Amino acid sequence: MREKKDVLPIRILGDSVLREKAVPIEDLTDEIIKLARKMEITMKMANGIGLAAPQVGRSMRLFVVDTEYLEISKRPMVFVNPVIVERVGESEFEEGCLSIPGLYANVIRPEKIVVRTLLLRRKKLVERELEADGLFARVIQHELDHLDGVLFIDHLPADERARLLREWTLQRHSVG
């Protein structure tokens, strides 16, 4: 059941937590299980297809992906301490981020990846090696960047990034 108290505030560009390198999770605690559940709810409510722990102010190596929406699994997947072990090809795709609402840009990334990760399943961590391509690979890479303090705009040429950020800042200040 989704309740308002389970929706976490999302940190916005400018918040220093988004620039920290998140730490690995050593022990699975009830608190982390609850956090993951709340992140799933927050992601869905915000219409995102991924959400990383630093975006809700927790600097730990965990993110959720709406693999239910992507029709990859029946439930969203919770990634813990993920590592990309293989990257193949290149593709360009328009990205956005819940932490930079309203800013979109084409980003070039590897097209296929292999990721080694723990997945949170029924309150247990299971080890998996997943192959991903298309939007799934895109989201994993975007979310994993968040764990290293990297945002999608960092992949853009400096002049394009500066222009988009100028426009974004102006827009945010003109609202209200």
* Residue numbers annotated as active site: 143
Contact predicate 9/55, CB 8 Å: no
Smaller CB separation from Ni ion, 38 or 143: 143
C-alpha dihedral sign at 150, 58, 68, 116: positive
| Run of H or E including 77 | strand 77-88
Neighbouring CB atoms inside 10 A of 1's CB total: 4
Nearest-CB residue to Ni ion?
97
Smallest gap from Cβ 55 to Ni ion, in A, equals 6
Smallest gap from Cβ 100 to Ni ion, in A, equals 7
Distances (CA, A) of 111 to 13, 53, 93, 140: 26, 24, 10, 11
Smallest gap from Cβ 38 to Ni ion, in A, equals 17
Smaller CB separation from Ni ion, 29 or 171: 171
Smaller CB separation from Ni ion, 32 or 52: 52
Q: Does 62 bind Ni ion (CB under 5 A)?
A: no
Q: Does 22 bind Ni ion (CB under 5 A)?
A: no
Smallest gap from Cβ 1 to Ni ion, in A, equals 26
- Please select the residue that binds Ni ion; options are 97, 103, 132, 156, rule is CB under 5 A: 97
Summary count for the chain: helices (H), strands (E): 3, 7
Determine the interface stretch with Ni ion among 19-27, 29-37, 90-98, 119-127 (rule: CB under 5 A).
Answer: 90-98
Residue type for position 165: L
Smaller CB separation from Ni ion, 22 or 97: 97
Cβ neighbours for 34, distance < 8 A, ≥ 6 positions apart? none
Query: Which residues contact Ni ion (rule: CB under 5 A)?
Result: 97
